Amino acid sequence: MVFKKPNFGPPPENYIAGLGRGASGFVTRADFGPSKVGVASVGGQAVELPAGTQGPTQIRQAPTAALRELTSLGNKAAEKEQDFSDANFDEWSGFGGSLFSGGGGGDDVEDKEADNIFSKVDEYMDNRRKRKREEKFKEQEEKLEKDKKDIQSQFADLKRSLVNISRSEWEALPDAPDLVKRTKRQKVDNFQRYTPVPDTVINSARIDGQSNTFIDPNQIQGMQSSLIQQSNGFQSVANGGMTSSIGDIGLARGQLLQIKLASAESVISNVQKSTTTFDKEGYMTQLNSQQFNNLHDIKQAKQKYQLIYSDFKKARKMFKSVIQQNPQNSMGWIAAARIEHLDGKIQEARNIINQACHELPNDEDIWLEAAKLCPPEKVQPLLAKAISSIPKSKKLWQMAAIKEQDIDIKKQIYQRALEQLPHDLDLWKDTIQLANPEEAIALLYRAVKCVPDSTDLWLALAKLETYENARTVLNEAREAVPTDHTIWVNAAKLEEAQGNNQLVDKIINRAIKKLSKNGVSIKREQWLREAVMAEESGSMITCRAIIKETMHYGMEDILSTYQDEAEQKRQIRSIWKENAEDCLKQSAIETARAIFFNAIKEFPSKKSLWFDAIQLEEEYGTKENQQDLLKRAKEHTGSVFFYLKLAKFTWKNHHDQDQTRNILMEGYSKHSDSEDIVLAIQKFERDNKNYQQAEKLLSEAISQIESERIALQAVQLQRELNSLDNALKTVDEQLIKYRNFFKLWLVKAHILQALGTQSAQNEIKAIEYYNQSRSVYDEALTLDEIKTKRVVWLDYARFETDQGAFTRARTILQKARIRIPTDDEIWLASVRLEIKSDNLKIAQNLLSQALQKCPLSGRLWAQLIEMEPMATRKTQSLNAATKVGNDSDLFLAVAKVLWTEMKTEKMKKWIQNAIAINKDNGDAWALSLRFEMEFGTKETQQEIIDKFLEAEPRHGEMWTKEIKQVENWRKNKVDILKKVAKEIKMYDEM
């Protein structure tokens, strides 16, 4: 029976088969093929199916047949366009068309538009991450490349160090072994196999090769044979191969040993007979250098000279042979004794030397060696016997005195020695050293008669005698030794000690004439040494007399090479200056002073000699000597320099206003056209508040002397009097004459700024003055001579910063850096401007650039340390000190770092070093005073102030800023120093 499908009629609207029972449809590839799924209208609604979907879609789907039916009902027009014939069907992919495309392709346009939009979004996102992706890829490549270094790059640093290897080290390198061949050889050896030979084979070989070998003792010459002699004792009568018995082998060995012993004996005999193989003198010198006090010394000598004394037996035989052949040779005996001594056999050494004393009783060296080896309790009788044998031996007498402990017996020994050797100087000196003063005088009188040519004895006697007797002694000494200059010098010292200063010059003068007459040639350097020694002994008059009489001594040869008289004088002055400098190096101040004194006396108009002499007194002399020299220099040279120097000395040390004014006016009367004199007088009058006198002087000087400095001081005087209008008028007049003088432009700008400050209540007028000041800076910077002046750029930037115009200030400093790229102060001002503007990052970048341009600037490194965090300041300080070296500003920064750690000792040391490097740095003096104010005492504070006043510093950032204020011009410098010291900010206060 055939089942017929019931006809339920047309489905209701929106009906989906199986939906009620929860069934869900699915689609296979056979349903729609590989093409893109379009949008199907199902029940009047568009349902989107993704392309390539093989499983269930997002909507609940009916079975395939029902879905096709719904599709055909929804869109009949699409059915006409698609081909569902068998020709268009594929078993794998189904129909070629889309089952759900429908809609005539309108939805495809929207899809394309959506695809385009998503493509653009993807492209945008891809471009957005492109840079990071490329950087990451590049970083990965570099890391990979770094990890995979080639051999050449891995050993690049080691190859660079090969430059320092010398040629000898290259040649000493061993050759590289051939490891390949060695490995092959080892493999071959490993594969070799050794099989033991059977006993039968060995026995047959022994029988076949048996021989009868014998030694003929008649052919051996025994102990008299030599290795170089040919021996005929071995005779073979068979094939030769293996020995017949063990006894024969032993016999042969004994005969060979006999031959070797005989050869050794012959070598010894050859050494004894040879005259060239043994250096007796050298060997004895070596032995003489040995001093043994105990057995420990002997053991140490054995270890030290083990190569020389390795065979004592051989040495004993050698020296025994020497003694036997020549018993009168003392060196052989001494060497034999010392060999025994070295071997620790002291008694044997004594026996040998005693035998030598019997053999050679008149040999001094033998007895001295015997005294060294003799026990202490027996040495005196031994030396007495020696002296009785050789009474004229000085060494034996001295040895006897040395070995004696009793002083009185020592004196007796020397007395007996002098009876035998009355003309020996050493014995007289040894005897006098043991005597008391009274005995010494008597001995010296005897000594100078026995040894009249000894200057030392004459001088020793003169020192012990009274003044009258000493004069007589020295006169006799001059007659006995007419060629010795030291006798004359001591005679001059003697007269000086007695207060006869007028005789000192005469004695030295006579000494030079007498010595020259006697043909004695003494070098100039020797006289200078005598002058220095006289100064060291306290004989200043003698020192000066020697210098006075020998100023031209020994210069004839030097001057003969110059024909021009002016050149000769110049060479003379050069030699004198060199001599004075040499004396100063030896701390012989009086000798150097005497040289300058006599040089000035001969060349009174030479300012350089006066200057050197004054400098010597400033450093080593007294105030009185310094003032005396300045007065004499002023009178003899009439130089402006010495007028100013004397006026300053008088005002500084005596505060005598009238005397100082008289000195300056005297100089002005003689040098009315001198710029320095005019400036010194006006400063002196302004310091003493005599402004009318100063104004009058400057008015006259401006018309008489063309000087930028005088013009500047005329303007500054008006500023000091607070007459700003007159000051502005004067500066305008002077700028016409001195247009390229940058200080006048700065003063004009400052005057306008001061006028603006005074007009603060009238804002419009104040702004007008400030604009005029700005115009002054701009006009000044148009001049080529001023464009390179750092001070103008910095002052202009400071003005704009004070006005709050940071942008203008930044532009000015940028231009300044272009003009002067290596100026550290301009870079520092730029960095601080950014810090003030709260642009810390820019400030750090600028500071980094500045250190590249100026790597040795202490100020820049100090700023870097200040900007560092507290934890890294110390490390940065050490780094800066290593790179920069000695710099005052840097040392102050390091001291501030230590201040935060309260390391007072180190801090004080760094501040002192900063002052020592640059005494002209006022900031260093201020920090030093600040340290003493907090950690020191009033005494240490006053000590710093005194040194500060002596140094008179004129530089330093905070110091110059303070002293250049108009209101501080006439203030006490100490008050300003204290103010700066209090205003210094430490790092923990910032």
The pLDDT tens digits of the residues spanning 798-821 come to 999 999 999 999 999 999 999 999
pLDDT score, position 507? 93
In a domain, 898, yes or no: yes
- In terms of pLDDT, which residue wins out, 356 or 811? 811
Of the candidates 71, 104, 137, which is a domain's last residue? 104
- In terms of pLDDT, which residue wins out, 182 or 167? 167
Q: Which domain holds residue 307?
A: 281-373
pLDDT score, position 38? 44
Could you give the 3-state DSSP secondary structure of residue 214? strand
In a domain, 322, yes or no: yes
pLDDT score, position 90? 58
Instruction: Work out the average pLDDT over 494-518.
Output: 90
- Range of lowest pLDDT (290-294, 336-340, 477-481): 290-294
What band does 133 get if pLDDT is binned at 50, 70 and 90? confident
446: exposed, middle or buried (Cβ count in 10 Å: 0-12, 13-18, 19+): middle
In whole angstroms, give the CA distance from residue 594 to residue 575. 14
Instruction: Work out the average pLDDT over 201-217.
Output: 49
pLDDT one-digit tens code per residue, 385-430: 888 888 998 888 988 888 888 888 888 888 899 889 999 888 998 8
Of the candidates 55, 79, 104, which is a domain's last residue? 104
pLDDT at 617 over 90: yes
Q: Among candidates 586, 615, 588, 612, which has minimal Cα distance to 600? A: 612
pLDDT at 61 over 90: no
What band does 71 get if pLDDT is binned at 50, 70 and 90? very low
What band does 311 get if pLDDT is binned at 50, 70 and 90? low
Dihedral of alpha carbons 275, 277, 279, 283, sign? negative
90, containing H or E segment: strand 89-90
* Average predicted confidence (pLDDT) for the chain: 80
In a domain, 188, yes or no: no
| Sequence-ordered alpha helix ranges (H) in 360-454 | 364-373, 376-389, 394-403, 407-420, 425-433, 437-450
559: exposed, middle or buried (Cβ count in 10 Å: 0-12, 13-18, 19+): middle
In a domain, 117, yes or no: no
Q: Among candidates 56, 72, 71, 52, which has minimal Cα distance to 23? A: 56
pLDDT score, position 908? 94
pLDDT at 298 over 80: no
In a domain, 257, yes or no: no
In a domain, 268, yes or no: no
Instruction: Work out the average pLDDT over 660-674.
Output: 93
In a domain, 145, yes or no: no
pLDDT score, position 219? 36
pLDDT score, position 24? 62
User: What tokens does 489 get?
Assistant: 């010098």
pLDDT score, position 887? 94
pLDDT score, position 25? 58
Instruction: Work out the average pLDDT over 568-581.
Output: 92
Q: Are 505 and 549 in contact (CB under 8 A)?
A: yes
Instruction: Work out the average pLDDT over 282-310.
Output: 49
What band does 761 get if pLDDT is binned at 50, 70 and 90? confident
Of the candidates 314, 342, 373, which is a domain's last residue? 373
pLDDT score, position 544? 94
- In terms of pLDDT, which residue wins out, 6 or 968? 968
Amino acid at 803: Q
**Total of domains in the chain:** 3
Instruction: Work out the average pLDDT over 124-142.
Output: 79
pLDDT at 463 over 80: yes
Tell me how crowded residue 521 is: count the other CB atoms within 10 A of its CB: 8
Which CATH number fits the domain that encloses residue 352?
1.25.40
Query: pTM for this one?
Result: 0.61
In a domain, 356, yes or no: yes
pLDDT one-digit tens code per residue, 685-732: 999 999 999 999 999 999 899 999 999 999 999 999 999 999 999 999
